[in-house]
Structure formats: C-alpha cells, structure tokens
Amino acid sequence: MSLHGLAIFCLTYVIAVATPGPGIAALVSRVLSRGTHGLPAFIAGFVVGDLIWLTLAATGMAALAANAHTLFMVVKYLGALYLLYLAYRMWTAPARAVDDNVVMPEGERASRLFAGALALTLGNPKVIVFFLALLPTVIDLQEMTVSAFARIAAAICIILSGVLTMYTVAAIRSRRLFKNSRAVQWLNRGSGTVMAGAALAVAASRS
C-alpha cells in the first residue's frame, strides 16, 4: 500500500468519524452528564469496534457480515438499548454542581462502558456503511497485505482516538459552565434527551 493510498484512507476516515452520529452523540452526552470517569474504556470500545469491521472487510468476511441480518439486528438493538440505559441514568442523576473528582458510580464500570460502546459501534449503520460500502472504493481489499492492514489499523487507532478526544475536550469545557444544581439538572436531562434520540436513530435506521 502506497503512502498516497494511506493518505487517501486517512482523509476519508477523518471525515467519516468526525461527522456527528450516534457514537459522537453518546460520547458527548456522557461527558456532559458524567464527566471523564471511565472514558478511556468507552473510547476503546469504539476503536475496537472499528478494528473488528476493518478485519471483516480485509478478510473477505464483509459480504457474510452484510448478509447476517439477524445478528446485525441483535447487535444494533443492543447498542440502542445501551443508549437508552445511559439516557435513563442521565435523567435520574442527582442534580449536583459539577465536580470532576466524583468517583465513578458502581454501575458504570470500565468493562460495561467498553462493552456498551463496542455494541453501539458494531450496530451503528454509519460505521457499517463506511467499512462495507465506502472502504472498498478507497482501498483495494483484494491486494491488502499484512503490512498494509497494520498501517490502516494503526491509523484507525490514532485518528478515532484523536477525534473522540477532541469532542471530549469540547464537552468538558462546556460542562464547566454548569456550576449550580439547577443548571446541572437541565444539563443531565438535555444530555439524556440527546442520548435517547441517538438510540431511536440507531433502532430506526435501515442498513
């Protein structure tokens, strides 16, 4: 794979992941409502999900994955249910002034956050369209070598983590504006509404 081909993939991928979708909505809403606790595991779930789709595309399993309608629907609805669960947690969260030193709640362990983000990514139509439809037009998957796969995988890890981190920083700066319990209550409910909307968008999508 040439540097030119890798550059084209990177540019295309940056545009794809930076465009707001259910994953970005979930990330920003969670940061606004709950802060950064457990965020590395949450972001890791998105990254691993994209790497799984890349692997399926690179190994010729994309067609099989596209035809596994039942499995896709199960994963998609699991991701939607997870977003609804987060929305519920946000709506019912105590209206306390923002404090980034609060210990992460027991119900939001890193493993659960990772699994939720992974399920959301595997069932996210936006991600599926990119790897099953757009990626083959950017990269010749039939001639992909182990070296090329490794470079693309590394690019995905760096780009996706970087984009999600930028969204996180923006959300953190916005979150610091909420210094009283009333404002935090509106923030929690607004974030919960956005999260619920993302869940409905995932569940109602056709792919």
> pTM of the full predicted structure?
0.71
Q: What percent of the chain has pLDDT over 90?
A: 16
Using CA atoms, how far apart are residues 199 and 193, in angstroms rounded to an integer? 10
pLDDT in tens, 168-193: 988 887 776 655 555 555 556 666 67
> Where in the chain are the domains?
3-204
pLDDT in tens, 123-150: 777 787 788 777 877 788 777 888 889 9
Closest CA to 110 of 36, 161, 50: 36
pLDDT in tens, 92-104: 665 554 454 444 4
Model pLDDT, residue 3: 81
